[in-house]
Amino acid sequence: MNPTESDQPTNRFTGLAEIYARCRPDYPAAALDDVVAHCRLVPGAAIMDVGCGTGISTRLFAQRGFRVIGVEPNDDMRRQAEAHPLRGVPHPPEYRLGKAEATGLPDGCADAVLAAQAFHWFEPETTLREFHRLLKPDGWVVLMWNERDPRDPFTAAYGEIVAREAHGKALEAHRHRAGEALLHNPLFRNAEVHRFGHEQALDEEGLLGRALSASYAPKEPAAVATFTQELRQAFARFQQRGSVRLVYETSVYLGQRP
């Protein structure tokens, strides 16, 4: 995306860290299992989680016994990650200030470099060169996204509401294509994409939080009121026993450094 579309991605989540941590989905266990098996990651392997946000993916991999460093340029998001330390694991995750295109990490430090729900914010070619630098020989890049599945009726209705917001539709179209940069980059081999089902159960307030945690969610009070009213109406139409499901397809793009 060009600068006017991205509106300074580093700053777009300032003020959203708490609601982001509370309302965003995690990633399916099957996807993580696939990453571990495909990349032949052994306990204690080093993973750099770039654009780690509030540490959702960072903690998931640390819980599996890996040494994970989360790199995040937004101070609010990084502080939120640090405020939720993970205890009882062999290697508690660490967090560092850094950008995808210039992480500040040493050469050859990583068995895998991960970007979960983040790579679409980066300049792809510069970032992939940085990831290549960080990786050990035969190490892997892992790009992962939860994308809404419009085949589900409620998920489709939710998507229609959020797509009406400024930049929302353009951003999501860009995000859908972002992983293709890895599939065609000459610095990596054996590139492929794997897909997994996932879902998130939400009560009404959780649904509002999920929607308002998006970077393109409205900020002006009147627009927020309209947005939340539409979401509440969709919730009322589809809820069962006080809950709705957002259905996702989780895409995992993989590429190996020669």
Mean pLDDT, each 10-residue run in order, the chain (258 residues) = 46 86 97 98 98 98 98 97 94 98 98 97 97 98 97 97 78 85 97 98 98 91 95 98 98 98
Q: Tell me what pLDDT residue 21 has.
A: 95
Give me 207's structure tokens.
Answer: 């649904």
Examine residue 231 and state whether it is found in any structural domain, yes or no.
no
| Chain CA centroid to CA 149, Å | 16
Q: Tell me what pLDDT residue 9 has.
A: 64
Q: Tell me what pLDDT residue 152 has.
A: 98
Q: Tell me what pLDDT residue 240 has.
A: 97
Examine residue 160 and state whether it is found in any structural domain, yes or no.
no
Q: Tokens 């290697």 correspond to what residue?
A: 91
Give me 200's structure tokens.
Answer: 């998130």
SS3 for 153-214, per residue? HHHHHHHHHHCCCCCHHHHHHHHHHCCHHHHCCCCCEEEEEEEEEEEEEECHHHHHHHHHCC
Examine residue 224 and state whether it is found in any structural domain, yes or no.
no
Examine residue 208 and state whether it is found in any structural domain, yes or no.
no
Q: Tokens 């959780």 correspond to what residue?
A: 206
**Alpha-carbon span 71 to 127, nearest angstrom:** 13
Examine residue 48 and state whether it is found in any structural domain, yes or no.
yes
Helix, strand or coil, per DSSP, at residue 34: helix
Examine residue 66 and state whether it is found in any structural domain, yes or no.
yes
The CA-CA-CA angle for residues 148, 142, 159, to 5°, reads 10
The answer to whether the CB of 185 falls within 8 A of the CB of 191 is yes
C-alpha neighbours within 13 Å on the C-beta side of residue 81: 29
What is the pTM for the complete model shown?
0.93
Q: Tell me what pLDDT residue 2 has.
A: 39
Instruction: Indicate which CATH number applies to the domain containing 88.
Output: 3.40.50.150
Q: Tell me what pLDDT residue 165 has.
A: 77
Examine residue 180 and state whether it is found in any structural domain, yes or no.
yes
**Alpha-carbon span 160 to 154, nearest angstrom:** 10
The CA-CA-CA angle for residues 202, 208, 209, to 5°, reads 85
Number of domains in the chain: 1
Residue 82's domain comprises 3-148+169-199+249-256
Q: Tell me what pLDDT residue 8 has.
A: 59
For residue 192, what are the CA distances in angstroms to 113, 127, 134, 197, 251? Answer: 15, 18, 20, 17, 10
Examine residue 204 and state whether it is found in any structural domain, yes or no.
no
Q: Tell me what pLDDT residue 172 has.
A: 79
Q: Tell me what pLDDT residue 229 has.
A: 97
